[in-house]
């Protein structure tokens, strides 16, 4: 099949593209190579994908609708996976306009080209951040998610709502998936695991927010990719409606699905896992919770399991060990 993936130089886009290329699919990758974090890391991911003859990269910004249209018209994809976005909860407090441009204007451009070129399945990356400080756990897709705590979360919820309108108006089969703290090799330098491991190797202190009392539903990258690939084959429709837990819209072929294992870990447990694997204690700097942070994330995987038959299962020890080994092998190429 032909996949058009935005954000292939990013963490998740790189892993998804590589998996699909290994399976023999064609991938057209679209990425803006923005300097939000290390371009060396993004270039290294791109170089890995370039080894596959069935990979075609395009460099451009989501706001460039003309380039997006030209790329799609040429390629004619079966499935469009929109992963590119301005990421980062805390950065949205510093530069909200970047989120407006990429996550709203850019995502609208994706909706327009999906409608114009009639892709078979539009898949959109959303986030667990849309649940805000939801007091009910686990977070279910049917929960109210109208009180975002950051502009990042608001931009992702807005994308979901815009996509629903296009699914209704133009019958574009659309699946939006909400990610829960994704981690693993080739991860982002602004994420806690990357920052903690790097700081510990360099004998610097690590910053532990919320005095370590927060918890997160960590999702290993290979499990996430499994779920995206599984869901790509399941077009939202009445023939696969799941009683009681489904978000399948009554107004169009649209569904929201959590991708998380439903096994949250405390932040201090996370730090202790890293310490155990690295064989050294961290110099911890305990700090209060930052503006926009949520105390916990906790996915209900019920809908994902009903649709695909599985959920993320990699335990934290195994996943952190894989990241640490990757970082030790590649740090001199990407730092």
Q: Is residue 204 part of a domain?
A: no
Residue 277 has pLDDT above 90, yes or no: yes
- Give me the chain's average pLDDT, please: 95
Q: Is residue 269 part of a domain?
A: no
Residue 99 has pLDDT above 90, yes or no: no
Q: pLDDT: is 3 or 73 the higher one?
A: 3
**Cα–Cα distance between 142 and 247 in angstroms, integer?**
6
Name the percent of the chain lying above pLDDT 70.
100
**Mean local confidence (pLDDT), 130-144:** 95
**Cα–Cα distance between 126 and 82 in angstroms, integer?**
10
Q: Is residue 210 part of a domain?
A: no
Question: Lowest-pLDDT range, 20-34, 35-49, 295-309, 317-331?
Answer: 35-49
The pLDDT tens digits for 39-86 are 999 999 999 999 999 999 999 999 999 999 999 888 989 999 999 987
- Angle at alpha carbon of residue 77, lines to 40 and 176, rounded to 5°: 75
| Sequence-separated (6 or more) residues with CB below 8 Å from residue 138 | 262, 298, 299, 300
- Largest alpha-carbon pair distance within the chain? 56
Q: Is residue 155 part of a domain?
A: yes
Q: Out of 152, 166, 183, 220, pick the active-site residue.
A: 152
Output the domain CATH number for residue 38: 3.40.50.720
Q: Is residue 47 part of a domain?
A: yes
Q: Is residue 106 part of a domain?
A: yes
- Residue-level pLDDT at 116: 93
Closest CA to 197 of 330, 315, 90, 42: 330
pTM confidence score: 0.96
How many helices, marked H, and strands, marked E, lie in the chain?
12, 13
Whether 220 is catalytic = no
Residue 17 has pLDDT above 80, yes or no: yes
Q: Is residue 91 part of a domain?
A: yes
- Angle at alpha carbon of residue 264, lines to 158 and 187, rounded to 5°: 65
Range of the domain at 40: 2-182+220-261+299-313
Report how many domains make up the chain: 1
- Residue-level pLDDT at 299: 98
- Residue-level pLDDT at 95: 79
3-state secondary structure at position 268: helix
The pLDDT tens digits for 167-219 are 999 999 999 999 999 999 999 999 999 999 999 999 999 999 998 899 999 99
Q: Is residue 213 part of a domain?
A: no
Residue 87 has pLDDT above 90, yes or no: no
Q: Which long-range contacts (CB under 8 A, 24 or more apart) does 276-279 make?
A: 276/317, 277/317, 277/320, 277/321, 277/324, 278/197, 278/200, 278/201, 278/324
**Mean local confidence (pLDDT), 117-144:** 95
């Amino acid at each position: 099949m032909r996949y058009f993936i935005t954000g292939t130089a990013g963490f998740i886009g790189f892993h998804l593209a590589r998996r699909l290329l290994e399976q023999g699919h064609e991938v057209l990758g679209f990425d803006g190579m923005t300097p939000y974090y290390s371009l060396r890391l993004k270039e290294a991911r791109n170089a890995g994908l370039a080894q596959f003859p069935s990979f075609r990269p395009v460099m451009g910004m989501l706001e460039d609708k003309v380039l997006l249209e030209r790329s799609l018209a040429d390629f004619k994809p079966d499935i469009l996976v929109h992963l590119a976005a301005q990421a980062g909860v805390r950065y949205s407090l510093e530069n909200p306009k970047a989120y407006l441009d990429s996550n709203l204007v850019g995502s609208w451009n994706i909706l327009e080209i999906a409608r114009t070129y009639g892709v078979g399945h539009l898949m959109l990356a959303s986030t667990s951040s849309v649940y805000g400080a939801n007091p009910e756990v686990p977070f279910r897709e049917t929960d109210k998610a109208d009180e975002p705590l950051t502009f990042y979360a608001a931009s992702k919820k807005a994308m979901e709502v815009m996509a629903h309108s296009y699914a209704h108006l133009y019958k574009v089969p659309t699946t939006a998936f909400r990610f829960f703290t994704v981690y693993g090799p080739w991860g982002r330098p602004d994420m806690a695991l990357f920052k903690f491991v790097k700081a510990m190797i360099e004998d610097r202190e690590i910053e532990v927010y919320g005095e370590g009392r927060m918890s997160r539903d960590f999702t290993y990258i290979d499990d996430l990719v499994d779920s995206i690939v599984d869901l790509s084959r399941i077009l939202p429709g009445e023939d696969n409606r799941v009683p009681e837990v489904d978000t399948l819209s009554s107004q169009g072929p649209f569904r929201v699905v959590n991708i998380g294992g439903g096994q949250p870990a405390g932040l201090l447990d996370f730090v202790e896992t890293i310490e155990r694997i690295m064989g050294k204690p961290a110099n911890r700097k305990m700090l209060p919770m930052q503006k926009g942070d949520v105390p916990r994330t906790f996915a209900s995987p019920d809908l994902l399991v009903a649709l695909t038959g599985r959920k993320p299962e990699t335990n934290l020890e195994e996943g952190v060990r894989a990241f640490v080994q990757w970082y030790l092998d590649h740090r001199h190429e990407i730092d």
